[in-house]
C-alpha cells in the first residue's frame, strides 16, 4: 500500500515547472522521475548483465539516438547509479557499469516487471473494452 508519507504532494503547491509540483525530495518521485523515462529502465536492464561500452549499449538498447543515450547515462551517473570509465586509448573506449546502488535497484524493478508480466493482459483487455465501449482510444 502506498502511503502519503512516501508519495507526498507538496503542501506549498505553488507555480512551478514540470516534474516539481511535489516535495523535491519525495523519494518515490525521485525514483519514478529517473526510471519512468523512455530509456533508463532499458539501460539498467542491459547493464545488469555486466560492463558495456557506449556502442554496445546503443546496440543492446536498440534505436536510441546517441544524444539521448548520453543524456540517460549522464543522469544515471549523476545519481550514482552508473560509473563511467574512460580508457586512454585510440580509438576511444568508455565503459559503463552499474554501481552497487544501481544494482540494488534491480530488485524493485524486477518486482514491477513481474507484476507487469502477470497483469499486462488484464490492462490491455481493459483498454480494448474501454475503447469498444466508448469509441475513444
Partner DNA sequence: CAGAATCCGTAATGATACTG
Partner DNA sequence: CAGTATCATTACGGATTCTG
Does 24 bind DNA (CB under 7 A)? Our answer is no
E strand or H helix that includes residue 87: strand 82-87
- Binding to its own copies, residues 104-133 (CB under 8 A): 104-117, 119-120, 122-127, 129-131
Q: Could you say whether residue 65 binds DNA (CB under 7 A)?
A: yes
Residue 6 binding result from its own copies, DNA, none, given CB thresholds of 5 to 8 Å by partner type = its own copies
Query: Phi, psi (5° rounding) for residue 38?
Result: -75, -35
Query: What is the spatial distance between Cα 137 and Cα 127, in angstroms, rounded to a whole number?
Result: 8
Backbone φ, ψ for residue 36 (5° rounding): -80, -10
The residue assigned the cell 534505436 is: 63
Under rule CB under 8 A, residue 19 binds its own copies: yes
Tell me which stretch binds DNA (CB under 7 A): 12-20, 102-110, 117-125, 126-134.
12-20
45 near its own copies, judged by CB under 8 A: yes
Amino acid at each position: 500500500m502506498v502511503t502519503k508519507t512516501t508519495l507526498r504532494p507538496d503542501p506549498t503547491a505553488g507555480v512551478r515547472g514540470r516534474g516539481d509540483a511535489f516535495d523535491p525530495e519525495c523519494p518515490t518521485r525521485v525514483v519514478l522521475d529517473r526510471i519512468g523515462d523512455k530509456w533508463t529502465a532499458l539501460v539498467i536492464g542491459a547493464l545488469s548483465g555486466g560492463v558495456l561500452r557506449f556502442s554496445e549499449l546503443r546496440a543492446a538498447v536498440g534505436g536510441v539516438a546517441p544524444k539521448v543515450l548520453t543524456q540517460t547515462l549522464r543522469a544515471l551517473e549523476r545519481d550514482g547509479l552508473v560509473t563511467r570509465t574512460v580508457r586512454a586509448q585510440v580509438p576511444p573506449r568508455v565503459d559503463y557499469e552499474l554501481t552497487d546502488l544501481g544494482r540494488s535497484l534491480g530488485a524493485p524493478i524486477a518486482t514491477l516487471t513481474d507484476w507487469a508480466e502477470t497483469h499486462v493482459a488484464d490492462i490491455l483487455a481493459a483498454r480494448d473494452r474501454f475503447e469498444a465501449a466508448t469509441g475513444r482510444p
